Structure 1
Amino acid sequence: MDLGITAKRALVIGGSSGLGFAAAKALAAEGVHLALFARSPGPLATAKEGLVQYPGVEIETLAGDITHRADVVELAGRLRESGGVDILILNTPRPPSPMREFLDEDDDERWSSAYRNQLQGALNVLREITPLIIGKGWGRIVGITSASVKQPMPRHAISTIFRSGVQAALKHLSLEIAEHGVTVNSIAPATIMTPTFAQFHNLEDRVAATPLKRFGTLEEFGGTVAFLASQQSGFLTGQVIQLDGGRTAALV
């Protein structure tokens, strides 16, 4: 199926690895030109090399930190000069490790770090990049949050609190900019197997808690991103897509 986004331009935050790179790869397969933004030039260069298999796709890499407003302002300026943005994939860093219950989170620096990385950084991106998308009269914003925004998971206190804040911002934004032809949705994943997933979780427990009794793949995640970025998803906005193998038991 042709998703109708060939030659569109996408910005992928955190696009050098993991879920961000999976999103970039899925969009490149649809002929979408990419700007990958992450903190370190080295992984960005590696990611770019991993996307050369898609002929005709333009790939730009930009290093910076979403928690620094000045970096995001500079990013927006460079994108404005190079053709703007049609699609934004908003992927933020992991919460501090190890994960803890709420009453065990007594370290103020962990809270501050998570706030900067997961919420403040996301707000910086949305405030600076959304105007570039609105100006085109068509666009897609896809946030990557967590299944815990619908059903809190044990030892995910910090992640749940700040990613729920991102989810609230996306919902507000979806209502404010719908008239411009821009949709805003999010993917709330759980148990997606990334190269670093096994470092932070008990794999057997995660599979046992998942009704499908397996991990989700990066290809399945990327396919979901591509659909939400597509022409076919044009009447879908303000929604949370639970990509969790059935783990979330909430009715809505």
Structure 2
Amino acid sequence: MDLGIRGKTALVTASSGGMGRNIAHALASEGANVVLFARSQDKLTTVASEIIQQHGVRALAKAGDMRVSSDVTTLVESIKAEFGGLDIVVLNTARPPNPIRATTEEVDMARWDEAYQNQLAGVLQVMSQAMPLITARGWGRVIAITSASVKAPMAHHSLSTVFRAGVTAYMKHLANEVGLSGVTVNCVAPALIETPHRAGSAAYTAAQAEARKRLTPLGRMGTQGELAGVVTFLASEQAGFITGATIPVEGGMLGSLF
């Protein structure tokens, strides 16, 4: 299926590795040019080289911090200079502070501030400056990566849930306000997705990993490719009548009707 995004320009934040990198590759495989934004220039340059070689599209690696206004301004100016505008934004963010704790144990305000800055403030910073580039083209896709915990809060995940729920609310407001500009705005809410830092039981013992698989009726963890595929579909022409939605990618773990 042709997703209709060949030649479009896509910005993917936190894309120097992991989920962001995989999403950037998925978009590039459909012919989209990609702008990679994260804090490590060396890692971004490596990912950009991979994308150019494997997919034959243009890739711009731009180092900076989502939370810093001047870094985002430089990013936006670089996009205008290199591509003339922007069509797709995927808002991937850093993980909340570790170790995860019960809500009643989250008494360190520095951890709450770090979570706010990483999960919500960076999204606000990027969208406040990037949105005019998207609406100017009369067509656009904005997709935020949140968490299944915004639909059903999970134990020990309050730092993530509170601010990703804030992202969900912000994205719903955007969807309501920019729809007439031809722009859709959605969230993807994953859980139980295999990630590189968990490989080889880096974060979970073998028993814990098996227990996590039993949380879904599918009896396995989700793959990075499956998550990236949902994001890429939401960026497509075919997803043009989906907006203001949160799409869970959690293998049926939530078990709810809505």
> TM class by shorter-chain length?
over 0.9
Taking only the aligned residue pairs, the percentage that are identical comes to 48
Give the Cα separation in 2 of the matches to 1:162 and 1:246: 23
Matched, 1:213 2:214: no
Name segments (4+ residues, structure 1) moved above 6 Å: none
Q: Is the Cα–Cα contact under 8 Å of residues 185 and 237 in structure 1 kept in the other structure?
A: yes
Unaligned runs of 5+ in 1: none
Structure with greater contact order relative to length (CA < 8 Å, sep ≥ 6): 1
Deviation track 1:37-84 (CA, whole Å, cap 9, x = no partner) reads: 001112112212322343430000000001111111221121122221
Q: Is the Cα–Cα contact under 8 Å of residues 115 and 162 in structure 1 kept in the other structure?
A: yes
Amino acid at match of 1:29: S
Report what 1:152 is aligned to.
153
Give the Cα separation in 1 of the matches to 2:214 and 2:108: 31
Report what 1:103 is aligned to.
104
Report what 1:62 is aligned to.
62
Unaligned runs of 5+ in 2: none
1:241 to 209, 231, 247: 247
Report what 1:226 is aligned to.
232
Deviation track 1:202-224 (CA, whole Å, cap 9, x = no partner) reads: 42232121221101111111111
Give the Cα separation in 2 of the matches to 1:52 and 1:137: 27
> What is the 5 A alignment of 1:185-200?
185-197=186-198, 198-200=201-203
Q: Is the Cα–Cα contact under 8 Å of residues 88 and 142 in structure 2 kept in the other structure?
A: yes
Give the Cα separation in 2 of the matches to 1:42 and 1:81: 22
Q: Is the Cα–Cα contact under 8 Å of residues 22 and 221 in structure 1 kept in the other structure?
A: no
Give the Cα separation in 2 of the matches to 1:55 and 1:230: 17
Q: Is the Cα–Cα contact under 8 Å of residues 98 and 200 in structure 1 kept in the other structure?
A: no
Give the Cα separation in 1 of the matches to 2:151 and 2:85: 33
Q: Is the Cα–Cα contact under 8 Å of residues 18 and 195 in structure 1 kept in the other structure?
A: yes
Give the Cα separation in 2 of the matches to 1:63 and 1:250: 40
Give the Cα separation in 2 of the matches to 1:3 and 1:42: 31
Give the Cα separation in 2 of the matches to 1:74 and 1:89: 18
Give the Cα separation in 1 of the matches to 2:13 and 2:192: 21
Report what 1:34 is aligned to.
34
Give the Cα separation in 1 of the matches to 2:220 and 2:159: 26
What is the root-mean-square deviation of aligned Cα atoms in Å? 1.2
Deviation track 1:23-46 (CA, whole Å, cap 9, x = no partner) reads: 101101001001000011121122
SS, match of residue 54 in structure 1: helix
Report what 2:116 is aligned to.
115
**Deviates most, 116-125 or 74-83:** 74-83
